[in-house]
Structure 1
Amino acid sequence: MKKMYKTVINLWDEGDQIREKILVDRPPEIVVNMRAPDIKKFETLQKLLEQILDLLKGNKVKGIRIQRPLGIGKTTIMLNLNNHEQVAKMFDIVIWLKVSKEGSKENLSRNRASAMAIVQRMEIKMEGASNADKVAQRIFKELKAKKYLLLLDDVKEDLNLNEIGIPESNNDCKIVLTTRVIKVTYLSLDEAWKMFQDVLGSPKLIANQKIRKLAWRVCKECSGLPLLIEKVANTFKLKNTEYLWSDGLDSWRMWPEKECQGIREMYKLLKFCYDDLDDDTYKKCFLYGALYPEDSDINTDYLLECWAAEDLLGNDDCATKESIMIGHLILSRLKNVSLLEEGKNDNRVTMHKFIRQVALYISEGEPDCKYLVKTSKALRQPPDEKSWSEKKRISLGDNKLDWLPDSPNCSLLSTLFLQKNLALDMIPALFFEHMKNLRVLDLSDTGIKLLPSSLSILIRLKILYLNNCKHLVELPSDIIELVHLEALDIQGSGVDNIPPHIEKLICLKRLRVSFATKSGNENASQEVHFNYNIISRLSKLEELVIDVKSPEQWSNEVVENIIKEVAALQELKSLKFSFSDKVVDVIEVAPMTLRISVPKATILLSFIESSSWKDVQSISSFEFYIGCQNSEPPQIPDFFRYDKYVKYSNSVGSNSPILRVLAEADGFELVNHKDIKQLSDFGIASMNKVQGCLIESCDEIETIVGAVDSAVLPNLEHLYIKNLPMLESICKGPMQPGSLTKLTTLHLTSCQMMVKIFPSGVIQHLNEIQYLKIEKCQEIEEIIAESDAAGNLNVLPKLKELILLDMKKLSGVCTIESLEWGSLEKVEIFKCPVLLILPFNKDNAAKLETIEAEKQWWEALPCREVKERLKKFCTLSSLSNLKYFIGHRSHSDAALRRWSYKLSKFSSTGSFSPSLLPK
């Protein structure tokens, strides 16, 4: 038997060798590693790679698109993804497919090339078969049972995956191409400098301090674009003297006026994005953006206004609503392909420095874009008069011009930007004589004192910006000759009334004005008259901005008179009022959206009753701010969620105007109310539609909901409670069925009288809660009462996140340690010194992924077995106060991520650097 066994084993081994060599082909490698730059030291790219890996691990995302301009690291991230060790463990096979640019316009050739590349990668023997359908069928057969990752690089448009045999699979297969957008950000300056030095590859080269300084400037000019850094650094590493570096920097800065080695390829790559726009309208709108000074935060409303004036959004017959819609579609497309970036605010965009240079270079070759652009160059003298000739658009903004040519020959000129030339105090009398086709004129932020007589020649002018021209005290009477003027902006100028003659501007659609009382005037209330009776005569007005800058408080009578004037405008779609911080602020009415702020509810009622918005139910979205200061923006998190929003501040009682609008609101913010005892005093029926609610600094509130006979807040999803010193409980008395059944988020902050969060029986109604945060409620000793948990071990079945902060008496979450926490993913505990019992054991929180806490607190916990199991989920910090300050102040998401990253580095290394401190 022993001999027979050895014989069998020997034969088996011989069979393995035969099968390996002759009978069976070895399967293709799971991953074919590719040459890829190391990105571990580049935090921006590495974080994006980790984000993609996290998405690949889950089962919700089947596809990812990495979207950004060419040349900023997308392929580098893909190569590192292909080579990552975790990827090889997650999939049966990883297929890298470079989609040919040449075939991107021809579906047939593109699909055939893609299919054959897959055949080659999977080592499929086709025996000379060339029929596309048969090739696709064979690929489909091979991949159907596999868990694959398909990496598609350089895809210009969506591939028809069915035509090349890629099956839709339920095997957690992934395609890095579409359905989920991850934006690749530009490298930070520090990361760019690291990369620049790495490509130079010679520390000795920049050991010379003068060359090092020049190298730093060259790097800055690369604007954080990885491919551009690589090209430029490779060019400069051949320069070994200060003179050569200085000359190279000059050449680089003069691009595109002077050819610079290595930049031409980058230009071609970015022009690819431009050419891919296809539609000429998109291209022209993009090139128009290059007229604005470098690093400008461009107001999108003004940009769309200029596009429309230049007929880029349709001809003169195009309706305003239609042109706005077209404009926003174009903006969205330009942002999606990253030719424009999001600005500092929602209604701002920017154009990256290098992309702007490309746009200006492209414009030189476009017959419809005869540009003269000299911005931000500290020019004291304008370009010579000859260079103005035959130009269609001229931009000389953000300079130090103190004079202009007398009468330049600009018969083709349609846009003229002269903004931000503070030294420019006079425009020659005949300056506009040869500009009869001018449509857009921006003189904002200049020192001009008068408008020249030749202004009346501009009969085709549609846009006139005079905002912040502080020395301009009047508009000439011959402005009425501008019969096609659609937008007039005199905000911040010295004009202290609405000139009566502008009622002759029969095409005026947008008027933006601001006024202030004259210094030394004792009777300030007289100043506000400023000819506001003209407003109702501007029958075509669609947008109106009135900003009264004064330390005085205007009477309600004056306010109501102005409101009546505004209410008479039948075409009005966008409105902004600001009558002193203390009285009225009616903020922006977007199309079909009403946004109003008033000091008293009676003024709100007056406006609604006298305007075309009498039926609040018919308004698709509104924002009402009653009793608010200008400095009181919405405080409710994710404010954008709510289409119909009411903020009620600094008031007493409740009245019919409030109830009338609150009955339609899905977002409600109650701040600094003086006498209300409970939220239900506003009437239960008035809050049936409320989905998000914030209550703050209401000193008399004792409970949110009193004893009532009907369901309370049936649609409420998010409840935020801050600084209610008399609050004792969420509700009093038994809750009716249907009450608070949709509540997913509950945040309690600084409620010093509250002892119990959930009165007896209430927690049974809150099965949907996912996020629970309790902070600075010093009397609370326990989160869930034992009586509520008895007999029901799954009390908060959907709770994902539990945050407990700064509570000195909190000793436990619940005395019953066997509670189920089936959905809990994150726990955060800081400054709770007597909370020494964890709310879960080693088995009842299977989905827990993160515990954030102080190191000292964690070490003091007695439950060793539980701590050992949960240790891998912990992020512990000795900087508890700093962590607390950073994590729970109103910092931006981006800032929080940066701080969180730095603190985690501190926690892991135990070392501290001054760079961790805020600037």
Structure 2
Amino acid sequence: MDLVSQCVPPLCSCMQSFVTGQDISYVFCTKEKIDDLKNTMEQLLAKRNDIKRVLEDPQNEGKLLGNEVQLWLRNVGEKGNKVEQLFEEYGKGNCVAGSCSINCFLRYKTGRNAFKLKEEITQLTTKQFEIKFIDIPPPRPVSESYKTVGKKISSNLDIASSYLADEAVGMIGIWGMGGVGKTALLKKIKQSLSGDANMGFDHVLFIEASKGIQVEELRKQIAERLNLESSYGKEGIFNDLKISNFVLLLDNIWEEVDLINLGIPHPYSNNNSTNRYKHKVIFTTRSEDVCAKMGAREKIIKVECLEPNEAWDLFKDNVNLDVIESNEKFKEIAWQVMEKCGGLPLALKVVGKAMSNKKSVEDWKFILNTIKNSGISKVQGVEESLLRILKFSYDYLPRNIQECFLYASILGWLRKDDLLELWMGLGLIGDFVNLQQAYGKARHIFKNLEESCLFYSSDDDYVRLNDVIYEMAVWIASNCGMNMNEWIVEKYDLFPNEIPSINADNWIFANRVIMSGKVELWPIWSHQCPDLLCLMIKKNSSFKNIPEGFFRQMPNLTYLDLQRTDIKELPKDIKHLVNLQYLNISGTKISSLPKELVYLKKLQYLICRDLKGLGKVEEDLMSRLQKLKVIDIFPSGWVDSEELKKLKKHNTIKGIGMRVVSKEVLQQLSCFPTTRLWLYNLDIISLSFDTLSCKSHGFFQQLNIESCPQLKELVMNGSRSHLNELDISNVEKLQNIIWTDLSPPEFFHVLKDLFISGCNLDNLAWVLHLPCLSFLHIEDCAKIETLFNIEAREIQQQEVSEHCLIFPTLEFLFITGLRKLVSISNFAWDFPRLASLTVLGCPNLKELPFKGATDNNQRMIDIQCERKWWESLEWDDATIPSHLQPFFVWVKEQNKGKRR
């Protein structure tokens, strides 16, 4: 029996209708239908790219695309998504040949959908239209119906009123992110000055500035508020206001405004004729920098997002309250939606209004699922009224800082140092003489973005941003929703129930692909990815092997980050990445670098940290890469002194991190700008800090000294270091740390982590005042009886000075294996930020150096210890233990503490 007679009867049965020749072709020509669809889609994408090039023409910058082309581009995106879904279903292998009616029906369904999609795409491809642009209108101010609630606005209103009442204050700045309620606060101020409560002002002038507005238009508004002819020039306005008490409320300025050119007497003018009059200016802006330029450096009000309870009140004011209160399920869903708005008042209002006409639980669940899966911007009516207003903050940034913002936002929750490395590798920092200058440029970018309220830095040096700002970043990265394939970002939990597979067909025109978590990538792409510039596959334990041919698909790749994947080697075809400038394979299972790396002539950054088995790098590999700027093979990798001599001739190295295995290598490295060094088993008696890095261009961040049997002294000299981490272990003869040029707090002004183990140091009092120390671990130092022996003079200074805090930033303290330790300190202190204390193997320690005032501090401090030791402790103040939370650890006496 042939295949047709096998398949057609069951197919007819499934369809319950007559099967035509076209239907038969869907079953037996499925692959051909898929191939036809792929070719047709590529033609459509080619046309889209032609249009995209027109859009990116600099002469069209600042213009808004006409509605017809916007609709066409949106339809292209929708068709692309449908094609991707169809390819994914087909790629799962369900449409195999066979007599099973299910297989026949699946092939029929796939073939039919491919045929219909091809026809629809052909219509889009052949559609003719004219590309038109219109000027982008300025963002509309938040409407009068914008209701503000909560303690914050009342507090800010009180602050503004106090400034208005203060005769010495003339300029007041109100700043914050877009949509946070600055305009609402300014209108509240205006309202508070109405009627008899006008505080003696003859004129209260509310002027809407907005981005790009001309001086003439502002003058016209001022003249109208003063009931003057709109043609009045600045002299006429000035003459009218100089003999009046006025307050100018200037809303939504984007740069410094020349008040004199507007005709406004400057509030801080020295003109004697105006001294007896009250002249005040209050303005709102999204930039803290504008506040400074306007002269409001000290009198600034920052408007923050709302706390959850206040956000809930505002959300209820804009959604249908009767619906919420009719059912607990509505309230539960509404609360979750409210949380997704990130406390941003504009988002709460817009999303609330969009939901206000929905009256069924199913509708509300649909909106919640849409928000969870795609973000609040996908709720109907939200995109235009929310994201486009927020985007003006982004539009005002310089081009390179816009890119910095997008990467920082889309990757999310990165440390500042990681972001610096990312921006450098992408070429967004620009040229720099040394890493110190690069860090300075990065700090400027951080400051610019924080001043624009697009993100903020937390105390732990991580960068964070509002959820709605994240959605705006994703929306901008997709060309404002018109091209979802420019940035492809796939993030998954580390341990999902099912490992998703990625259909890479939509990567053909991708510029940037970012993937993290556990995800299957294969089978390998069967097509070129010529537009791919940046590829990040991070923290993916499923990524174990890179098949041959992988890198041939991306000839223009410039940035490759594979860190913390399970790959064991780089394939030989990495030599095809001739445009690669940045390569990061840190934390992988790679144990050697392939000689094919020498073909990467444009490589500037080679980051291979934490490769446990790396060892010596192949001879001449580094020195043949003549554009290398940063080499980081710390802590296991190293090169010999001859290779360092060759690298020195390049004169391009800005930073190098590696293991040091000989005195000759250590001597050579003194001429390099080192970043991280691990001194292992060196035959040295004394070590001077200023010999570890090039004096003029160094940016030394991490030093490990291990198993140096003859080392007796460590000399801290030279200029202030940038050291973040210092690790000294198994240096049994080390007895002395000598300070020459600077004191410990000045020398280690950014040191965060300190680990000392197996040394003969008997006093570590120099550690006490390190201003940034967060983690301290002292282990197996046999001579120590008092860990921090403080002189009486310093104790008195501590008692009288609030600026001389002991351990001002210490969060984690580990004291383990100090057999002779009797006292941690001869002086009790507060530990203002301590979160965890571990004490193990210290049998003679009977007291902890906490002040009795600890009972005023509501923080609980975790204590990791042995129960027997805890019960033997003596307390001068019985209230202290109530703020210490012991967690008992049962360890054998010979066990050491475990380093973090």
TM-score between both structures, scaled by the size of structure 2? 0.58
Specify the alignment match of 1:238 in structure 2. Answer: 357
Q: 1:374 aligns with which of 472, 489, 496?
A: 489
Q: Aligned partners of 1:453 and 1:269: how far apart in 2?
A: 49
Contact 2:745/2:771, CA 8 A, preserved across alignment:
no
Q: Aligned pair 1:568/2:671, yes or no?
A: yes
Contact 2:555/2:579, CA 8 A, preserved across alignment:
yes
Write out per-residue CA displacement over residues 297-355 of structure 1, whole angstroms, 9 at most, x where no aligned residue.
234444444445444455x8999777666555444323321223325544x43443322
Q: Aligned partners of 1:76 and 1:692: how far apart in 2?
A: 40
**How far did residue 467 of structure 1 move?**
1.6
CA spacing shift, 1:136–1:663, aligned 2, 3 Å: same
Specify the alignment match of 2:381 in structure 1. Answer: 261
Q: Aligned pair 1:538/2:647, yes or no?
A: yes
Q: 2:264 aligns with which of 145, 165, 178?
A: 165
Specify the alignment match of 1:365 in structure 2. Answer: 479
CA spacing shift, 1:49–1:474, aligned 2, 3 Å: farther
Specify the alignment match of 2:514 in structure 1. Answer: 395
**How far did residue 256 of structure 1 move?**
8.1
Describe how 1:341-356 pairs up with structure 2 within 5 A: 341-343=456-458, 345-346=460-461, 348-356=462-470
Describe how 1:587-626 pairs up with structure 2 within 5 A: 616=718, 619=719, 621-622=720-721
**How far did residue 245 of structure 1 move?**
0.8
Write out per-residue CA displacement over residues 273-311 of structure 1, whole angstroms, 9 at most, x where no aligned residue.
22223x43333443444552xxx2234444444445444
Specify the alignment match of 2:92 in structure 1. Answer: none
Paired residue secondary structure (1:417):
strand
Q: Aligned pair 1:282/2:401, yes or no?
A: yes
Specify the alignment match of 2:238 in structure 1. Answer: 137
Q: Aligned partners of 2:343 and 2:321: how far apart in 1?
A: 21
CA spacing shift, 1:155–1:393, aligned 2, 3 Å: same
Contact 1:66/1:182, CA 8 A, preserved across alignment:
yes
Write out per-residue CA displacement over residues 375-417 of structure 1, whole angstroms, 9 at most, x where no aligned residue.
2256945543331112222222335235352454111211112
Q: Aligned pair 1:467/2:586, yes or no?
A: yes
Q: 1:418 aligns with which of 534, 537, 553?
A: 537
Q: Aligned partners of 1:162 and 1:651: how far apart in 2?
A: 68
What one-letter code is carried by the residue in structure 2 that aligns with 1:160? D
What one-letter code is carried by the residue in structure 1 that aligns with 2:479? G
Paired residue secondary structure (1:473):
coil
- Larger helix fraction of residues: 2
What one-letter code is carried by the residue in structure 2 that aligns with 1:264? E
CA spacing shift, 1:774–1:306, aligned 2, 3 Å: closer
Specify the alignment match of 2:630 in structure 1. Answer: 510
Q: 2:215 aligns with which of 107, 110, 122?
A: 107
Write out per-residue CA displacement over residues 891-917 of structure 1, whole angstroms, 9 at most, x where no aligned residue.
xxxxxxxxxxxxxxxxxxxxxxxxxx9
Contact 1:675/1:700, CA 8 A, preserved across alignment:
no
Q: Aligned partners of 1:71 and 1:541: how far apart in 2?
A: 45
Contact 1:437/1:458, CA 8 A, preserved across alignment:
yes
Write out per-residue CA displacement over residues 424-443 of structure 1, whole angstroms, 9 at most, x where no aligned residue.
21222101103121110111
What one-letter code is carried by the residue in structure 1 that aligns with 2:176? R
Q: Aligned partners of 1:283 and 1:478: how far apart in 2?
A: 35
Q: Aligned partners of 2:440 and 2:251: how far apart in 1?
A: 33
Describe how 1:810-825 pairs up with structure 2 within 5 A: none
**How far did residue 235 of structure 1 move?**
2.0
CA spacing shift, 1:426–1:185, aligned 2, 3 Å: farther
CA spacing shift, 1:596–1:389, aligned 2, 3 Å: closer
Specify the alignment match of 1:76 in structure 2. Answer: 184
Contact 1:36/1:76, CA 8 A, preserved across alignment:
no
Q: Aligned partners of 1:751 and 1:49: how far apart in 2?
A: 50
Specify the alignment match of 2:597 in structure 1. Answer: 479
Q: Aligned pair 1:298/2:414, yes or no?
A: yes
Contact 2:590/2:614, CA 8 A, preserved across alignment:
no
Contact 2:661/2:680, CA 8 A, preserved across alignment:
no
Q: Aligned partners of 2:856 and 2:747: how far apart in 1?
A: 34
| CA RMSD after TM alignment | 5.5
Q: Aligned pair 1:443/2:554, yes or no?
A: no
Q: Aligned partners of 2:465 and 2:647: how far apart in 1?
A: 36
Paired residue secondary structure (1:395):
strand
Q: Aligned partners of 1:196 and 1:114: how far apart in 2?
A: 35
What one-letter code is carried by the residue in structure 1 that aligns with 2:457? E
Paired residue secondary structure (1:485):
coil
Q: Aligned partners of 1:369 and 1:157: how far apart in 2?
A: 33
Describe how 1:880-891 pairs up with structure 2 within 5 A: 882-886=855-859
CA spacing shift, 1:188–1:668, aligned 2, 3 Å: closer
Q: Aligned partners of 1:172 and 1:561: how far apart in 2?
A: 73
Contact 2:762/2:787, CA 8 A, preserved across alignment:
no
CA spacing shift, 1:416–1:327, aligned 2, 3 Å: same
CA spacing shift, 1:588–1:35, aligned 2, 3 Å: farther
**How far did residue 593 of structure 1 move?**
5.6
What one-letter code is carried by the residue in structure 2 that aligns with 1:140? L
CA spacing shift, 1:504–1:50, aligned 2, 3 Å: farther
**How far did residue 463 of structure 1 move?**
0.9
Q: Aligned partners of 1:454 and 1:407: how far apart in 2?
A: 16
Q: Aligned partners of 1:350 and 1:187: how far apart in 2?
A: 16
CA spacing shift, 1:624–1:249, aligned 2, 3 Å: closer
Q: Aligned partners of 2:195 and 2:615: how far apart in 1?
A: 68
Q: Aligned pair 1:491/2:609, yes or no?
A: yes
Q: Aligned partners of 2:473 and 2:542: how far apart in 1?
A: 29
Unpaired stretches in structure 2, ≥5 consecutive residues: 1-142, 269-274, 284-290, 774-785, 809-823, 833-848, 863-884, 886-900
Moved more, 506-515 or 249-258: 249-258
Contact 1:456/1:481, CA 8 A, preserved across alignment:
yes
TM-score between both structures, scaled by the size of structure 1? 0.57
Contact 2:220/2:232, CA 8 A, preserved across alignment:
no
What one-letter code is carried by the residue in structure 1 that aligns with 2:477? S
Specify the alignment match of 1:176 in structure 2. Answer: 282
**How far did residue 514 of structure 1 move?**
3.7
Q: 1:660 aligns with which of 715, 728, 741?
A: 741
Write out per-residue CA displacement over residues 714-745 of structure 1, whole angstroms, 9 at most, x where no aligned residue.
xx99545699xxxxxxxxxxxxxxxxxxxxxx
Paired residue secondary structure (1:187):
coil
Write out per-residue CA displacement over residues 587-614 of structure 1, whole angstroms, 9 at most, x where no aligned residue.
99996666676879x9899888xxxxx9
**How far did residue 750 of structure 1 move?**
8.7
Contact 1:223/1:353, CA 8 A, preserved across alignment:
yes
Q: How many residues align?
A: 628
Paired residue secondary structure (1:416):
strand
Q: Aligned partners of 2:528 and 2:807: how far apart in 1?
A: 64
Q: Aligned partners of 1:183 and 1:697: how far apart in 2?
A: 44
Specify the alignment match of 1:152 in structure 2. Answer: 250
Unpaired stretches in structure 1, ≥5 consecutive residues: 1-33, 121-125, 517-527, 549-556, 609-613, 632-649, 680-689, 707-711, 724-748, 755-772, 776-806, 809-829, 832-879, 890-916
Describe how 1:79-98 pairs up with structure 2 within 5 A: 79-84=187-192, 91-93=199-201, 97-98=205-206
**How far did residue 450 of structure 1 move?**
2.3
CA spacing shift, 1:421–1:131, aligned 2, 3 Å: same
Paired residue secondary structure (1:150):
strand
Q: Aligned partners of 2:855 and 2:424: how far apart in 1?
A: 50
Moved more, 260-269 or 301-310: 301-310
**How far did residue 562 of structure 1 move?**
5.4
Identity in percent: 19
Q: Aligned partners of 2:858 and 2:680: how far apart in 1?
A: 34
Q: Aligned partners of 1:152 and 1:475: how far apart in 2?
A: 61
Q: 1:699 aligns with which of 773, 786, 789?
A: 789
**How far did residue 753 of structure 1 move?**
11
CA spacing shift, 1:254–1:629, aligned 2, 3 Å: closer
